[in-house]
Amino acid sequence: MTFTYQINDDVVWNKDKKLLDKADRNKPEILKSKIQPVAIVEILPDEKKINGYKSAITKTKIQHLPQVLLKRDDSIILDLGDHYVGTFAIDIQSIGSPMDAPLFLKVKFAEVAAEIAADSAAYDGWLSRSWIQEEYIHLDVLPTTLKMPRRYSCRFIELSVVDTSPKWQVSFQNPVFTAESSVTMEQLPKDTLADAELEAICNVSVKTLMDCMQDVFEDGPKRDRRLWLGDLRLQALADYYTFNDVRLIKRGLYLFGGMTTSEGKIPANVFITPQLTPDDTFLFDYSLFFVTTLFDYIQHTNDVEVLEDLYPVAKKQIDLALLLVTEQGKLCLQDEWPVFIDWSNDFKKNTAGHGVMIYALKRFVELAKRQEDVQLQFYQEKLAQLVAYAKDYLFDATENLFIVAENEEINIVSQVWMILSEIMPPEMNKKILENTVKTLFPIEGIATPYTYHHVVEAFCIAGMKKEAVTLIKDYWGKMIDMGADTFWEAFKPEDPNFSPYGSPIVNSYCHAWSCTPPYLIRKYLLTKINK
Amino acid sequence: MTFTYQINDDVVWNKDKKLLDKADRNKPEILKSKIQPVAIVEILPDEKKINGYKSAITKTKIQHLPQVLLKRDDSIILDLGDHYVGTFAIDIQSIGSPMDAPLFLKVKFAEVAAEIAADSAAYDGWLSRSWIQEEYIHLDVLPTTLKMPRRYSCRFIELSVVDTSPKWQVSFQNPVFTAESSVTMEQLPKDTLADAELEAICNVSVKTLMDCMQDVFEDGPKRDRRLWLGDLRLQALADYYTFNDVRLIKRGLYLFGGMTTSEGKIPANVFITPQLTPDDTFLFDYSLFFVTTLFDYIQHTNDVEVLEDLYPVAKKQIDLALLLVTEQGKLCLQDEWPVFIDWSNDFKKNTAGHGVMIYALKRFVELAKRQEDVQLQFYQEKLAQLVAYAKDYLFDATENLFIVAENEEINIVSQVWMILSEIMPPEMNKKILENTVKTLFPIEGIATPYTYHHVVEAFCIAGMKKEAVTLIKDYWGKMIDMGADTFWEAFKPEDPNFSPYGSPIVNSYCHAWSCTPPYLIRKYLLTKINK
């Protein structure tokens, strides 16, 4: 998720069986539904669509699929009509003379049309080629039912006949995609939004979230496919306002709580198969989001048992973070525990990290009060120091903007996280954000819905609801205009063909951290849009 | 096997359950043995070796395989030390950080080094690409034991890591190839030949035959993998003098006998899986070889039951062939029932076909005598007419060579099949072949061990044992010089890089019709070479 891989192979891990057992008890049942393709499509260039391609329905009706006979170098593209996550099966037979050679078949699964158009062999980005959803299969005996064992994330399925023999052709029949998720659309609130554009954005958000809700909250079902804390936090917020199915949140909290380093630090992400394995990647802000995710969960559920179990882990993350805070209240980040904030490394993140620290510590103090922690006062004092430092050294009162202390850089993420940390009075927050819009907008160089989420939430906190709605429509709405069935891992409106990986073929087009509009809208903006 | 595909999709097939049941009862048990690679090798150019490449043992010992860590674009080649047919399994684990992406692996199986060197993607020959023994495999979870379900024919196994991730590498362990055949080397006669070169040729022949002896006599275990009559005939002859395991011969005869067209014609080949299926390919000479193969089998086994069961089928092939013979004794071949003789279409085959007709009819007459066929005299008369026609119209008594009547073409296959049909007295046969050597040798334009076999056998029939031995050594011995572990489907000494398919990557390097030297040597040449 970050551009810099961390390798920390000397970490000693503690696994807390009691906590991990509780994670296991909240393992969801995976619900399955049979999806049949709705059309046979072709892929056409269209510069207005995602990465320059769109799908178009062909003259051949999907009902006539078995009559389409394919030979060497022929291919056909099935369209499921929407984005799904699951497994695929199809009946295959040979037509003509006896089958005198194996069938050699390529099956490509694509979330968006551009992935079909992309040449997999040409991909030479740094991210693993193994994420390209493309299989080469030899079938020695037909007829057969091809049941593909792996799980895919897709809307389009391209069947390419590498070869038959000159004596026979291939016919496909009964394609079935078995979609998987731990939730169903039945669980959603029944009301709709008055604003059709926002309603559409919410629907795509919900589909995105649903397709990421599997055995854990996955960051993306096509790629990475694991539980990241940064995504878990946002998925949980979106879930409270949509499916309201808290099992995966509880499971996620116990998974992180149950696997910590010998010093008590939680990893930025964990792997589930073949066995629970914490990744050797550590992010300062992600560790703190364990605290805020626990806070949000307790706010929502009042689940005392979870708080009792996980408060010590939350406290440990705060304690570890506070080791980096001077008595003056200055946060001194360390290279081995970087702050994520955003993929981009084109701006300094120290002030934003300072904002995250205050944001998390404020929530922790609430939990500490509730737990009657004897050290409550210590944390309150630390919080006060951090706030004071931010006001005294990170705020340019002339410009009414936050700066990065080291080089007086003024960037968007500093303003956003300082607004989210709510250290200024509301009218000052608004003034800061208005200045931000005036001097730093339109946003450029930011490719993550994750950061756009925080910008929108900052607008909400600062009472700038109109700007919040506009940004949601401009950013998430633009993805829909470009053909999104689910929201993406990466999107830079000023450079719509941007891929962080050198090719869109490994981009994730259903990515959890983009699913938050229902949360933003339903928590902050309903009065605005329904007025 | 022929260069021209036949498609006859209007054929009505009769399946004789009684005969096919007997075929089934002679299904052999497949014997399995575990083979461990003997070395890690690299592939190097060497213009003296098969298709320009050889293998060379690397510095890394096979025992140290698990210590070889592979990342993106790394590969390693395992050498089984000899050619085998069977299945492959290997243990795979990830080394380094947790496995944060699937492993994407390419596994290529090669009978000869040149197949490893060849770029599969560049193959654009007419023969199906699906025969290239190369699999692409995603493994989502490591460690695992990869058990590959398909059967391969190979000596070399290349493991290529398409990708891991920057955070971990792959280690391979316990590679095991489970070799399969219906016979074992234990069944072979224990004596060896005094001539080391011929002994080596016999050993490679036997390995070739063994690797083709599976559920049926396969033509080639890498490609085609089915029962062709032309191969069955030669495999049976070789088997009598080596493994002397007659089950597959009996099974093959019953399979062909049990599946005939509504007019009684047997197909040139049959498929065994998923169910018994005759191919819609018909070859004049192959149909007649049903008769000669039955004759050879009865000579060897005196199996009365088989003769009783299959004599009517043999008779039908003769009757169908005789429909093409005029009262004058002229064979008039038809396009829809072509004579194979050889792959090459650069020479006329009518006279060779005429020779095959006499060759087969002579043997049928012997069977007819034994069966006291009331039509015996009819067949004897037909034989006499065919012989007379050959002598009167197909023999140039000035040149002492057989010609093709239509255009007076003189070619090798005409001489060879007329010698094999034994219509001339021995001294004339010798004269004809001496003229053949003088005027038509060295052999050019012939790529099949199948035809070279018939040339050698013609030398034997004509009493030219020295020339027979020389040709065996020049042709089969040359393949060994070029690195053969088993003998090949195609070999043109004057053009050693010849491939009938546009690329050696789909050539079969273990092909039944090249396995006959033990038959030729032990039937005709032992006194010569052991003198």
> B360-411, pLDDT tens digit by residue?
999 999 999 999 999 999 999 999 999 999 999 999 999 999 999 888 899 9
Note the pLDDT tens digit of each residue in B446-499: 999 999 999 999 999 999 999 999 999 999 999 999 999 999 999 999 998 888
d(CA A219, CA A488): 11
Do B476 and B400 share a domain, yes or no?
no
Q: For A52-95, write each residue's pLDDT tens digit.
A: 999 999 999 999 999 999 999 999 999 999 999 999 999 999 99
Inform me whether the C-beta atom of residue B138 falls under 8 Å from chain A C-beta atoms. yes
What average pLDDT is seen over chain A? 96
**DSSP code of residue A523:** I
Banded model confidence at residue B500, pLDDT cuts 50, 70, 90 = confident
| DSSP secondary structure string for all residues of B344-400 | --SS--HHHHHHHHHHHHHHHHHHHHHTT-TTHHHHHHHHHHHHHHHHHHSEETTTT
Q: Quick check: A138 pLDDT over 70?
A: yes
- Residue B288, domain member (yes or no): no
Residue B227 belongs to a domain: no
Integer Cα distance of B475 and B241 in angstroms: 20
Buried b / exposed e over A405-440, threshold 16 CB at 10 Å, is beeeebbbbbbbbbbbbbbbeeeebbebbebbbeeb
Q: What is the DSSP letter of B524?
A: I
Q: What is the DSSP letter of A525?
A: I
CA–CA distance from B54 to each of B43, B154, B498 (Å)? 6, 14, 17
Q: Are A102 and A144 in contact (CB under 8 A)?
A: no
B271/A72 touch (CB, cutoff 8 Å), yes or no: no
Query: What tokens does B59 get?
Result: 């510095």
Inform me whether the C-beta atom of residue B125 falls under 8 Å from chain A C-beta atoms. Answer: no
The percentage of residues in chain B with a pLDDT greater than 90, rounded to a whole number, is: 93
Tell me which residue in B5, B166, B273 faces A166 most closely, judged by beta carbons.
Answer: B5
Residues of chain B neighbouring A97 (CB-CB closer than 8 A): 7-9, 279-280
Contact state of A102 with B280 under an 8 Å Cβ cutoff: no
Interface list for B 340-369 with A (CB within 8 A): none
Q: Are A416 and A453 in contact (CB under 8 A)?
A: no
Asked if B136's CB is within 8 angstroms of A165's CB, the reply is no
Mean pLDDT of B506-519: 97
The answer as to whether B427 is a domain residue is yes
- A4, A94, A130: best mutation site toward chain B, by most B Cβ within 10 Å? A130
Name the residue facing B138 among A135, A166, A271 (closest C-beta).
Answer: A135
3-state secondary structure of B217: strand
For B113-146, the pLDDT digits (tens) are: 999 999 999 998 889 999 999 999 999 999 999 9
Q: Omega before A274 cis (within 30°)? A: yes
Inside any domain, residue A365: yes
In a shared domain, residues A139 and A207? no
CA separation for the pair A192, B26 (Å, rounded)? 72
Chain B residue closest in CA terms to A8: B97
Q: What is the pLDDT of residue A3?
A: 53
pTM above 0.80, yes or no: yes
Judged by CB atoms closer than 8 Å, whether chains meet at A104 and B140 is answered as no
Predicted local confidence at residue A527, as pLDDT: 77
Give the model's pLDDT for residue A345.
Answer: 93
CATH for A130: 2.60.120.260
A97:B279 CB<8 A: yes
Task: Compute the distance between CA of residue A448 and CA of residue A322 in angstroms, rounded to an integer.
Answer: 28
3-state secondary structure (DSSP) of residue A498 = coil
Q: Which of A138, A145, A227, A259 to mutate to test the interface with B (most CBs of B within 10 A)?
A: A138
Task: Assess whether pLDDT exceeds 50 at residue B48.
Answer: yes
ipTM: 0.94
Report residue A529's pLDDT band, with 50, 70 and 90 as the boundaries: low
Residue A219 sits in the same domain as residue A159? no
All residues at 6 or more sequence positions from B356 whose CB lies less than 8 Å from its CB, including other chains: B284, B285, B288, B289, B339, B341, B417, B421
Half-sphere exposure in the Cβ direction for A20 (13 Å, CA) = 13
Contacts of A226 in chain B (CB under 8 A): 100
Contact A130 B165 (CB under 8 A): yes
Domain that holds residue B355: 324-435
pLDDT score, position B407: 86
In a domain, A2, yes or no: no
Cβ–Cβ contact A128 with B under 8 A: yes
Predicted confidence at residue B9, as pLDDT, reads 81
Q: Which amino acid is at B499?
A: S
Q: Confidence band (pLDDT; 50, 70, 90) for A190?
A: very high
Å between B162 CA and nearest CA of chain A: 7
Specify whether B69 is located in the same domain as B205: no
Does residue A52 lie in a domain region? yes
Contacts of B162 in chain A (CB under 8 A): 129-130
| Confidence bin at B530 (pLDDT 50/70/90) | low
Give the nearest partner residue to A277 out of B98, B278, B280, using CB atoms: B98
Q: Check whether residue A22 and residue A36 sit in a common domain.
A: no
Best of B71, B126, B129 to disrupt the A interface by mutation (most A CBs within 10 Å)? B129
Least confident of A161-170, A396-405, A519-528, B132-141: A519-528
Say if the Cβ atoms of B126 and A163 lie within 8 Å: no
Split at pLDDT 50, 70, 90, the class of A389 is very high
Same domain, A328 and A438: yes
Distance from CA of A270 to the nearest CA of B (A): 9
* Rounded CA Rg of chain A: 25
CA of B401, closest CA in chain A: separation in Å? 39
User: How large is the average pLDDT for residues A200-222?
Assistant: 98
Q: What is the CATH number of the domain that holds A228?
A: 1.50.10.10
pLDDT at A206: 98
For chain B, report the end-to-end CA distance as a whole number of angstroms: 39
Which residues in chain B have Cβ-Cβ distances shorter than 8 Å to A142? 274
The residue among A474, A497, A450, A511 whose CA lies nearest residue A111 is A511
Whose structure tokens read 């493309």? A134
| Min distance B450 CA to chain A CA atoms (Å) | 21
Average pLDDT over residues A132-149: 97
Where in B120-151 does DSSP place strands (E)? 134-139, 144-147
Instruction: Clarify whether residues A98 and A230 are in a common domain.
Output: no
Nearest chain A CA: its distance from B222 CA (Å)? 11
Asked if B274's CB is within 8 angstroms of A129's CB, the reply is no
Q: Which tens digits make up the pLDDT trace of A319-342?
A: 999 999 999 999 999 999 999 999
Q: Which of residues 268-327 of A touch B (CB under 8 A)?
A: 271, 273-274, 277-280
Chain A residues in contact with B100 by the CB 8 A cut-off are: 224, 226, 271, 279
Nearest to A101 among B121, B128, B141 (CB): B128
User: What percentage of chain B has pLDDT greater than the value 70?
Assistant: 98
pLDDT in tens, B291-328: 999 999 999 999 999 999 999 999 999 999 999 999 99
pLDDT of residue A9: 81
Residues B520 and B451 in one domain: yes
Cβ atoms of A390 and A376 within 8 Å: the answer is no
Model confidence at A410: pLDDT above 90: yes
| A423 and A448 share one domain | yes
C-beta atoms of A126 and B224 within 8 A? no
**pLDDT tens, residue by residue, A411-465:** 999 999 999 999 999 999 999 999 999 999 999 999 999 999 999 999 999 999 9
User: How far is residue A130's CA from residue B104's CA, in Å, rounded to a whole number?
Assistant: 5
DSSP string of B385-428? HHHHHHHHHSEETTTTEE-BTTTTB--HHHHHHHHHTT-S-HHH
Distance from C-alpha of A352 to C-alpha of B77, rounded to nearest angstrom: 51
Task: Tell me whether residues B126 and A97 touch, CB distance under 8 A.
Answer: no
Count of domains forming chain A: 2
Residue A8, in any domain of the structure: no
Residue B293 within any structural domain of the chain: no
Q: Count H helices, E strands: chain B?
A: 15, 16
Q: Which amino acid is at A67?
A: Q
- As a whole number, the mean pLDDT across chain B is 96
- Looking at the fold, whether A291 and A174 belong to one and the same domain comes out as no
Inform me whether the pLDDT recorded for A530 exceeds 60.
no
Residue B16 sits at the chain A interface (C-beta within 8 Å): no
Is residue B3 scored above 70 in pLDDT? no
Q: Count of A–B CB contacts within 8 Å?
A: 112
Distance separating alpha carbons of residues B390 and B374, to the nearest angstrom:
26
Task: Kindly state the DSSP code that residue B265 receives in the 8-state scheme.
Answer: P
Mutate to test the interface with A, among B13, B88, B128, B139 (most CBs of A within 10 A): B128
pLDDT in tens, B140-182: 999 999 999 999 999 999 999 999 999 999 999 999 999 999 9
Q: What is the pLDDT of residue B2?
A: 43
Which of B123, B130, B261 to probe by mutation at the A interface, max A CB count within 10 Å?
A: B130
The amino acid at residue A341 is I
CB-based contact (8 Å) between B126 and chain A?
A: yes
Chain B residues with CB under 8 Å of A279 CB are 97-98, 100
Helix A449-461 to helix A229-240 angle, to the nearest 10 degrees?
Answer: 50
Q: What is the pLDDT of residues A246-303, one digit of tens each?
A: 999 999 999 999 999 999 999 999 999 888 999 999 999 999 999 999 999 999 999 9
Are both A220 and A276 inside the same structural domain?
A: yes
**Which pLDDT band, with edges at 50, 70 and 90, does B1 fall under?**
very low
- DSSP H or E run through B470: helix B465-481
Given A156, A181, A206, which residue is the final one in a domain? A181
> Which residues in chain B touch residue A103, judged by CB atoms under 8 angstroms apart?
130
Q: Is the Cβ–Cβ distance between A365 and A437 less than 8 Å?
A: no
Domain boundary among A132, A152, A181: A181
A254 plus A148 within the same structural domain: no
Residue B4 pLDDT greater than 70, yes or no: no
> Do A140 and B150 make contact, defined as CB atoms within 8 angstroms?
yes
Of the partner residues B97, B130, B136, the one whose CB lies closest to the CB of residue A103 = B130
Residues in B touching A9 (Cβ below 8 Å): 96-97
From A321, A334, A391, A412, select the one nearest A363 (Cα to Cα): A321
Task: Classify residue A282 by its DSSP letter.
Answer: -
What is the b/e burial string over B471-507, where b = at least 16 CB atoms within 10 angstroms of the residue's CB? bbbebbbebbebbbbbbbbbbbbeebeebbbebbbbb
